[in-house]
């Protein structure tokens, strides 16, 4: 009978936590010395598990099963944010390792192939999702040449210092890799609020990021009457309130929008701001709803310009990220496994955060499983998940992995 080893699973997670441990959290930025120590340790654990493991030319740790395909690929990332938690990404990688071991120890499943990946730089210390982008065949050479971290170190130099420059890069093998699974902590509070222990992800949300520029007239704050001011900062604040009113009728329970940054020019107590920038992001699992929000925003900009003394224009935007739907068949396997191990204690839900799975999903069927985050906290040192939920999630993922592979081998 297929059975994971909870102690082995938790011990590996705890040991990985020691690389960059900072209080209850972890600081393990991509290609730092502690990150490379963690990657070498992980490759060793993969080899101990019977996988053939190596760190590739962009830093991804890849463990390949010695069994012939078709293979299920399980992965996530082990790099962290500057104030990172111990489970974000790491959980999915160690789940993959434990599932590969558990399947190899079971007579019924030991011939199945599970490959395991810790993708490089998911968190974007140099260039976000670089490992998974490289794996699916995206041209990452320009990113390698141009990307730098906060200290100004180039990615090319960092790879050379780590001894990775010129090493082969692992690539998707379409004849072997037939499905992808990414287990992850939820990074939100929905499962905890609903009293659930497992989330089966339906969609990874689409994202829009843009910058609006408000242009008024800089002037003396003491001598300029309120009636004739063209205050770009005040206009920006008024715009946010109207934007909220415009977005709310379009939203559902999972729609979110965030003003992440405001910049005033010149930003002085004694000067009426002549210009102001608003940095806006909105996310939703529905492409139709995202388009409706874009239309509403464009209409609001036109109305604002017609009515006010301060002009507003969109001056910059990131390329849009469209929602990515997880494979229905793989979702069904996760749902069946969740009902077996956590009857009535699971639900289907979107992912409000981006993950490597959204890139892999364009090249093979992909799925994601969530376990609860205590207090809904992630990207912070206090990020945590109850051990019972960690173990339960791995049991569900292992059962689903076995059934996915049975289907692939049928």
pLDDT at 196 over 90: yes
Residues 169-193: b if buried by 16+ CB within 10 A, e if exposed: bbebeeeebbbbbbbbbbbbebbbe
Domain boundary, last residue among 317, 336, 363:
317
141 shares its domain with 57? yes
Task: Answer yes or no: is 1 within a domain.
Answer: no
Task: Answer yes or no: is 62 within a domain.
Answer: yes
Task: Answer yes or no: is 357 within a domain.
Answer: yes
Joined tokens for residue 403: 């059934």
188 shares its domain with 74? yes
37 shares its domain with 162? yes
189 shares its domain with 245? no
pLDDT cut 90: percent of the chain above it: 98
242 vs 261: CA distance, rounded Å: 17
- List the domain range (segments joined by +) for residue 260: 210-317
Joined tokens for residue 360: 């892999």
Domain boundary, last residue among 272, 299, 317:
317
Q: What is the pLDDT of residue 194?
A: 97
Task: Answer yes or no: is 185 within a domain.
Answer: yes
pLDDT at 186 over 90: yes
246 vs 251: CA distance, rounded Å: 10
138: three-class secondary structure by DSSP: coil
What pLDDT, in 10s, does the model give residues 52-108? 999 999 999 999 999 998 999 999 999 999 999 999 999 999 999 999 999 999 999
Domain boundary, last residue among 271, 302, 317:
317
Helices (H), 325-374: 328-341, 357-360
What pLDDT, in 10s, does the model give residues 224-258? 999 999 999 999 999 999 999 999 999 999 999 99
Average pLDDT in the chain: 97
306 shares its domain with 331? no
Q: What is the pLDDT of residue 128?
A: 95
pLDDT cut 70: percent of the chain above it: 100
Show binding-site residues: 77, 88, 123, 184, 379
What pLDDT, in 10s, does the model give residues 280-323? 999 999 999 999 999 999 999 999 999 889 999 999 889 999 99
72 shares its domain with 148? yes
**pLDDT band, very low/low/confident/very high, at 199 (cuts 50, 70, 90):** very high
45 shares its domain with 100? yes
Beta-bridge mates of residue 214: 276, 312
108 shares its domain with 72? yes
CATH number of residue 214's parent domain: 3.30.70.360
DSSP 176: T
219 shares its domain with 193? no
pLDDT at 410 over 90: no
DSSP 70: S
Which helix (H) or strand (E) segment holds residue 12: the answer is: helix 6-17
What pLDDT, in 10s, does the model give residues 266-283? 999 999 999 999 999 999
281 shares its domain with 334? no
53 vs 169: CA distance, rounded Å: 13
Which helix (H) or strand (E) segment holds residue 182: the answer is: strand 177-185
227 shares its domain with 330? no
Write the Ramachandran bin of 327: left for phi over 0, alpha for psi from -120 to 50, otherwise beta.
Answer: beta
**pLDDT band, very low/low/confident/very high, at 1 (cuts 50, 70, 90):** confident
pLDDT at 394 over 90: yes
60 vs 230: CA distance, rounded Å: 52
201 shares its domain with 348? yes
pLDDT at 366 over 90: yes
What pLDDT, in 10s, does the model give residues 21-39? 999 999 999 999 999 999 9
405 vs 225: CA distance, rounded Å: 73
Q: What is the pLDDT of residue 346?
A: 98
**Count of domains in the chain?**
2
Q: What is the pTM of this model?
A: 0.93
196 vs 199: CA distance, rounded Å: 8
pLDDT at 161 over 90: yes
CATH number of residue 15's parent domain: 3.40.630.10
Average pLDDT, integer, range 326-341: 98
Q: Which of 122, 120, 101 is nearest to 112 (CA)?
A: 101
Q: What is the pLDDT of residue 78?
A: 98
In contact, 376 and 188? CB cutoff 8 Å? yes
Q: What is the pLDDT of residue 321?
A: 93
183 vs 293: CA distance, rounded Å: 30
Show binding-site residues for Zn(2+): 77, 88, 123, 184, 379
pLDDT at 165 over 90: yes
């Amino acid at each position: 009978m297929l059975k994971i080893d909870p102690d082995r699973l938790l011990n590996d997670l705890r040991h990985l936590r020691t690389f960059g441990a900072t209080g209850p959290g972890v600081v393990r930025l991509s290609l730092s010395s502690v990150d490379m120590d963690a990657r070498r340790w992980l490759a060793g654990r993969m080899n101990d598990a019977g996988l053939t493991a190596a760190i590739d030319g962009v830093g991804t740790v890849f463990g390949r099963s010695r069994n012939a395909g078709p293979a299920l690929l399980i992965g996530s990332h082990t790099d962290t944010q500057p104030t990172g938690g111990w489970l974000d990404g790491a959980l999915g990688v160690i789940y993959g390792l434990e599932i590969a071991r558990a399947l190899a120890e079971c007579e019924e499943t030991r011939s199945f192939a599970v490959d395991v990946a810790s993708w490089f730089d998911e968190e974007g210390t140099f260039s976000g999702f670089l490992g998974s982008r490289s794996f699916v065949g995206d041209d990452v050479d320009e990113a390698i040449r141009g990307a730098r971290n906060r200290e100004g170190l180039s990615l090319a130099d960092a790879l050379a210092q780590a001894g990775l420059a010129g090493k082969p890069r692992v690539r998707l093998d379409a004849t072997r890799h037939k499905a992808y699974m990414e287990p992850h902590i939820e990074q939100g509070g929905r499962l905890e609020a609903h009293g659930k222990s497992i989330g089966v992800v339906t969609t990874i949300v689409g994202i829009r990021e843009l910058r609006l520029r408000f242009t008024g007239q800089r002037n003396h704050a003491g001598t300029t009457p309120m009636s004739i001011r063209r205050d770009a900062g005040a206009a920006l604040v008024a715009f946010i309130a109207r934007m909220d009113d415009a977005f709310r009728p379009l939203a559902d329970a999972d729609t979110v929008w965030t003003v992440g940054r405001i910049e005033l020019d010149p930003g002085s107590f004694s000067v009426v701001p002549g210009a102001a920038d608003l940095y806006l992001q909105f996310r939703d699992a529905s492409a139709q709803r995202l388009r409706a929000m874009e239309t509403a925003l464009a209409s609001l900009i036109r109305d604002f310009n017609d009515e006010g003394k301060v002009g507003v224009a969109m001056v910059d935007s990131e390329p849009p990220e469209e929602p990515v739907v997880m494979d229905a068949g793989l979702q069904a396997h996760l749902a069946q496994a969740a009902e077996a191990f956590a009857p009535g204690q699971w639900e289907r839900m979107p992912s409000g955060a981006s993950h490597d799975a959204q890139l892999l999903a364009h090249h093979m069927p992909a799925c994601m499983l969530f376990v609860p985050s205590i207090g809904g906290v992630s990207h912070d040192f206090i990020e945590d998940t109850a051990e019972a939920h960690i173990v339960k999630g791995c049991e569900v993922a292992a059962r689903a992995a076995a059934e996915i592979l049975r289907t692939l081998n049928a």
